[in-house]
Structure 1
Amino acid sequence: MSGCPEGERRRLLTVLLLVLTVLSGLVDAVSILSLGHVFVANMTGNLVFVSLGLAGAPEFSVVTSLVALGGFAVGILFCRAALSRLSPPVALVSAAALCETALLASATVLHALDGPRRVLVVVCAAAMGIQNAMAGRVGIAGLTTTVMTRTLVGLLGDTGTAAHDRRVAVRQALSVAALVCGALAGGLLVLLVTPPAALAAATGCALAVAAAATVAARR
């Protein structure tokens, strides 16, 4: 994609990261509703769940939350070791999304076969760790694909100030909307269809991103 203008490259990366933000909402809906009280994309929530479990709240599993944190860490370390040197950024997105596709497809099959919940948690969390590490290295302002706390602070606290880029504000707003839409779609699929259907939708998102990024990287 070396021949593409910088603006076109950033627009493509923005769209791809927004699709992955939808994916994050999908998988967290699955993990919360069908794998117990655990996040696979939002690790801040898991730290709170670990604390509640240690306090004795019976609905929160310390072990399951720690498994998610461990899987997420493995995904980050894998991206750092195996993918971080890829260039241009769209090639990194392509490779990371392909890894996510493989992991989420495995999770879809495993969930359909009633596989162990904690194995599902670690597989999905590893996929999200790869995604988060990749998004951080791509570095599109306002698009983390999972963590919305800082995004909301920027959107609500900085919008209208001289230092705030309107384009960043638009990306932040779209990011919040994408996560909400993904979680809503995931919840509906889990409750009205099956959890594997929601994971299949997430796999489809990852595959679409991988395909688009691969085509762009070869231009």
Structure 2
Amino acid sequence: MGGGPATGTGRLLPALLLVLTVLSGLIDAVSIIGLGHVFVANMTGNLVFVSLGMAGVSGFSVVTSVVALGGFVAGILLCRSTVGRLDAPLALVRVGAGCETVLLGTAAALSAVGVPHDALVAICAVALGMQNAMAGRLGIGGLTTSVMTRTLVALVSDAGAPRHPRPLAARQALSVVALIAGAAIGALVVLHVSPAAAIAAAAGCALAVAVTAAAAEK
């Protein structure tokens, strides 16, 4: 769906998904550090956090993790209803990232006025559920924007193999680097500025992606 590697769209889409991968790392850093030890982009981690909360481990809330899971599922359903009929990859990215901008911008504003963490977790999880569903529809190898387990397995196990094309390996490696960079940036902003500022930075990433996709459509 993302277009051939020789096309302009084929070159642009991976770059846009890498920006969204930075966003994923950034927003998960915010949620883990500032919103109650919970993921909003990586749901595998939340399943573990639910188990830790049920076991009574200090610092992990079953309710907050379930809120994140529910928001993420809602985001997937919202993506299906809002962009499910879009076939053009850039249109899909434009609308999906545009919705994500609104959601994360709202979360940043609410965070600044002290809204309870669970409400922020829910909004951010909806945004990231939309993002992951959008990335899944695009289907560009090595660029899930959030989940790195399979990416790392493929990158390491297939390294140097003839069946592991260099463009795919490059995307996988850049995806891992982008997530790490985003998480580091998010942590620094949360620790030295505020969670609201970090969420606003994530909204800025989504806005940049939406605007770029819209401009490329013309």
Tell me, yes or no, whether TM beats 0.5.
Answer: yes
Distance 2:90 2:159 in 1: 29
> What's the counterpart of residue 97 of structure 2?
97
Task: Please report the TM-score for the alignment, with normalisation by the length of structure 1.
Answer: 0.96
1:35 aligns with 2:45: no
Letter in structure 2 aligned against 1:127: A
Distance 1:204 1:51 in 2: 33
Offset of 1:178 from its aligned partner? 0.4
Offset of 1:125 from its aligned partner? 0.2
Query: What is the Cα-based RMSD across aligned positions, in Å?
Result: 1.2
Q: Is the 1:103–1:127 contact (alpha carbons within 8 Å) kept by the matching residues of 2?
A: yes
Where do 4+ consecutive residues of structure 1 move more than 4 Å? none
Letter in structure 2 aligned against 1:9: T
Distance 1:193 1:64 in 2: 24
Secondary structure of residue in 2 paired with 1:190? helix
Letter in structure 1 aligned against 2:50: V
Distance 2:53 2:5 in 1: 51
Secondary structure of residue in 2 paired with 1:141? coil
> What's the counterpart of residue 58 of structure 2?
58
> What's the counterpart of residue 189 of structure 1?
189
Letter in structure 1 aligned against 2:129: G
Distance 2:162 2:174 in 1: 21
Offset of 1:87 from its aligned partner? 2.3
> What's the counterpart of residue 139 of structure 1?
139
Per-residue deviation, residues 77-102 of structure 1 (Å, max 9, x unmatched):
11112212112111000000000000
> What's the counterpart of residue 70 of structure 2?
70
* Structure 2 unaligned regions, length at least 5: none
Distance 1:134 1:5 in 2: 19
* Structure 1 unaligned regions, length at least 5: none
Offset of 1:127 from its aligned partner? 0.2
Offset of 1:18 from its aligned partner? 0.3
Q: Is the 1:159–1:166 contact (alpha carbons within 8 Å) kept by the matching residues of 2?
A: no
Task: Please report the TM-score for the alignment, with normalisation by the length of structure 2.
Answer: 0.96
Percentage of identical aligned residues: 63
